């Protein structure tokens, strides 16, 4: 296996393929992260549920495979995505078995390590009669006063994606209540994957990942009488490499979300490397005072910070290389006042001669955050891109938190916008950081930079 480019503080399995986060739950204080996994190869195939546990959402312990396909069973062709719930004290996984797509249950009577599949699987044997669906998978289940509810990802052929709503008294017999929401094929694709539906403040949050796009959407809105009225819409991440997120409420009442970070290199390159797929940092989701969605990395990640460098109050014009700040595993916390500059931001993972670099720039006029990784690597197998996100700063300074972790660059802007890039620099000295102001001068209000400790090193 090729260890180059492997993140040090983002979760990934020891080897091979990973995609969606699954079954996120905190149980007796312990966080459980399950994930779509091919344990025998670096490409998507033969889906299993991998498993890891943590006490702080940051440091993880690899656990044995939780679910594997059962030959001859309803999941013989794959154990697809799903969720974890507390069924009156019994840890329970609800997932899609393939093929055709059906819904299944598994329970554990130990520390959530060993799982037994229900002999009554599948508990939902197929889509409702008369519906011509494009998909029927990825159950997300919660409890209300009058029973269990489930959303499933789906779509109506020729029309668009859809989220289906089901109800059950016992998790075994399910009744289809109808669509919770439907999309238009020309706007949000033909099939919606991985719906999540949960309360956030006084609103409800719906997450879904529409095919064929590699984007995770959200709606915030009102949920009453089992009807959802969406009010606000956006993307959880604008980088085009963050997909199929799962959010859950932890024991402290925090809404925490992980998403799958796709590779930004060719399939030949990740197959040769022997590993593919990374989980995003755990993000806490909250509502801003104006009711909009906020995302910030969970506070526990601050435990990884080492060797702070602090710089404040500097005028910027052009590119200002920071001699004291460099690295391939760092966090940067930067506040910039654009003043009369047209663009302001920074470059990371930059080589001394500028042959390789990734830029993170705010465009004042366009009110856009731009992350450009097209020059991140000289390797033709690396697929750099220019990604943009809408960001209206109003009177606020630009407040960036940038997490550089080998091949991952995860950017949080003003706690509102996230944009993740994957980069694969070829040169060992592509570790430089510079501040940038173009078309005028800007002011650096403050910068804090840390080296980030690996989550796998002993503490």
Does 435 participate in binding ligand FRU (rule CB under 6 A)?
Answer: no
Nearest distance from C-beta of residue 263 to ligand FRU, angstroms: 13
Is residue 272 within a helix (H) or strand (E), and if so which, with residue range? helix 267-273
How many residues bind ligand FRU, per CB under 6 A? Answer: 13
Query: Contacts with ligand FRU in 351-410 (CB under 6 A)?
Result: none
Task: Tell me how far apart the alpha carbons of residues 73 and 220 are, in angstroms, rounded to a whole number.
Answer: 38
380 CB burial (10 A radius; 0-12, 13-18, 19+): exposed
Please list every residue from 87 through 116 that binds ligand FRU, using CB under 6 A. 96
**Residue 167 forms beta bridges with which residues?**
149, 175
The gap between the terminal CA atoms of the chain, to the nearest Å, is: 26
Q: Which is nearer to ligand FRU, 193 or 406 (CB)?
A: 193
Say whether 20 is catalytic.
yes
Torsional sign, CA 128, 129, 134, 135: positive
Contacts with ligand FRU in 134-153 (CB under 6 A)?
A: 137-138
Query: Whole-number minimum distance, CB 18 to ligand FRU, in Å?
Result: 10
Among 16, 19, 26, 414, binds ligand FRU (CB under 6 A): 19
Q: Which of 5, 7, 13, 20 binds ligand FRU (CB under 6 A)?
A: 20
User: What is the C-alpha separation between 91 and 306, in angstroms, rounded?
Assistant: 37
Q: Determine contact, residues 212/193, Cβ cutoff 8 Å.
A: no
For residues 27 and 53, what is the distance between their CA atoms, to the nearest angstrom?
Answer: 10
The whole-angstrom separation of Cα 51 and Cα 60 is 10
CB of 78 to ligand FRU, least distance (A): 7
Residue of the chain from 34, 80, 148, 258 that contacts ligand FRU (CB under 6 A): 80
CB count within 10 Å of CB 202 equals 8
Min CB(80)–ligand FRU separation in Å:
3
Distance in Å, CB of 116 to ligand FRU, minimum: 21
Residues forming a β-bridge with 91: 86
Q: How many residues does the chain have?
A: 459
Regarding 217 and contact with ligand FRU (CB under 6 A), the answer is: no
Instruction: Using the minimum distance from each CB to ligand FRU, give the nearer residue, 81 or 92.
Output: 81
Q: Is 190 in the site for ligand FRU (CB under 6 A)?
A: no
Catalytic position from the list 20, 138, 237, 372? 20
Under rule CB under 6 A, residue 47 binds ligand FRU: yes
Give the nearer residue to ligand FRU in terms of CB position, either 174 or 260.
260
Q: Between residues 247 and 391, which has the closer beta carbon with respect to ligand FRU?
A: 247
| Spatial CA neighbour of 408 closest among 423, 418, 394, 395 | 423
For residues 297 and 283, is the Cβ–Cβ distance under 8 A? yes
Q: Nearest approach, Cβ of 19 to ligand FRU (angstroms)?
A: 5
Task: Figure out which of the listed residues 81, 280, 351, 377 binds ligand FRU, where binding follows CB under 6 A.
Answer: 81
Q: Which is closer to ligand FRU, CB of 31 or CB of 49?
A: 49
- Which of 21, 424, 446 is closest to 261 using CA atoms? 21
Binding residue for ligand FRU (CB under 6 A) from 18, 25, 194, 431? Answer: 194
Look at the alpha carbons of 267, 237, 227, 232 in this order and tell me if their dihedral is positive or negative.
Answer: negative
Measured between alpha carbons, how far is residue 406 from residues 86, 327, 447 in Å?
37, 9, 21
* Rounded Cα gap, residues 94 and 103, in angstroms: 7
Indicate the residue among 4 and 157 with the shorter CB distance to ligand FRU: 157
Residue 193, interface with ligand FRU (CB under 6 A)? yes
Of 32 and 137, which CB lies nearer to ligand FRU in the complex structure? 137
Residue matched to tokens 């080589």? 351
Q: Which is nearer to ligand FRU, 172 or 213 (CB)?
A: 213
Residue 358's H or E segment, with its range, is strand 358-363
41 Cα distance to chain centroid: 22
CB of 74 to ligand FRU, least distance (A): 14
Segment 319 to 348, residues that bind ligand FRU, using CB under 6 A? none
Q: List residues with catalytic annotation.
A: 20
Residues that bind ligand FRU (CB under 6 A): 19-20, 36, 47, 80-81, 96, 137-138, 193-194, 243-244
């Amino acid at each position: 296996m090729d260890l180059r480019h492997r993140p040090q503080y983002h979760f990934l399995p020891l080897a091979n393929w990973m995609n969606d986060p699954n079954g996120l739950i905190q149980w007796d204080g312990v966080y459980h992260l399950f994930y779509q996994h091919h344990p025998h190869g670096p490409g998507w195939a033969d889906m299993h549920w991998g498993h890891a546990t943590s006490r702080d959402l940051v440091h993880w312990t690899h656990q044995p495979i939780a679910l594997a396909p059962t030959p001859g069973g309803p999941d013989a062709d794959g154990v697809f995505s799903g969720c974890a719930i507390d069924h009156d004290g019994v840890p329970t996984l609800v997932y899609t078995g393939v093929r055709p797509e059906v819904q299944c249950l598994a329970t554990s009577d130990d520390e959530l390590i060993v799982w037994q599949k229900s002999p009554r699987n599948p508990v939902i044997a197929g889509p409702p009669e008369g519906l011509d669906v494009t998909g029927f998978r990825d159950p997300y289940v919660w409890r209300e006063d009058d029973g269990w509810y489930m959303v499933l990802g789906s779509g109506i052929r020729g029309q668009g994606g859809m989220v289906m709503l089901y109800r059950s008294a016992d998790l075994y017999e399910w009744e289809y209540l109808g669509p919770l929401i439907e999309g238009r094929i020309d706007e949000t694709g033909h099939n919606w994957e991985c719906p999540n539906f949960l309360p956030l403040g006084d609103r409800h949050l719906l997450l879904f990942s529409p095919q064929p796009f590699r984007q995770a959407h959200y709606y915030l809105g009102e949920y009453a009488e089992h009807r959802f009225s969406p009010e606000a819409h956006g993307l959880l991440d604008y980088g085009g490499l963050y997909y199929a997120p799962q959010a859950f409420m932890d024991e402290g009442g925090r809404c925490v979300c992980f998403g799958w970070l796709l590779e930004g290199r060719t399939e030949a390159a990740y197959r040769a490397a022997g590993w593919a797929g990374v989980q995003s940092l755990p993000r806490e989701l909250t509502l801003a005072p104006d009711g909009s969605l906020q995302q910030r990395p969970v506070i526990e990640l601050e435990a990884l910070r080492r060797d702070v460098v602090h710089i404040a109050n500097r005028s910027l014009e052009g590119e200002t290389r920071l001699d004291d700040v460099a690295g391939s595993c760092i966090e940067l916390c930067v506040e910039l006042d654009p003043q009369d500059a047209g663009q302001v931001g920074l470059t990371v993972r930059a080589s001394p001669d500028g042959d390789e670099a990734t830029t993170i720039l705010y465009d004042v006029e366009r009110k856009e955050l731009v992350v450009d990784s097209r020059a991140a690597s000289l390797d033709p197998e690396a697929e750099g891109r220019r990604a943009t996100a809408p960001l209206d700063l109003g009177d606020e300074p630009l407040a960036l938190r940038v997490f550089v972790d080998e091949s991952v660059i995860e950017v949080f802007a003003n706690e509102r916008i996230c944009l993740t890039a994957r980069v694969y620099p070829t040169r060992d000295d592509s570790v430089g950081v510079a501040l940038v102001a173009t078309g005028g001068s800007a002011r650096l209000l403050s910068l804090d930079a840390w080296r980030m400790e690996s989550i796998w090193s002993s503490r």
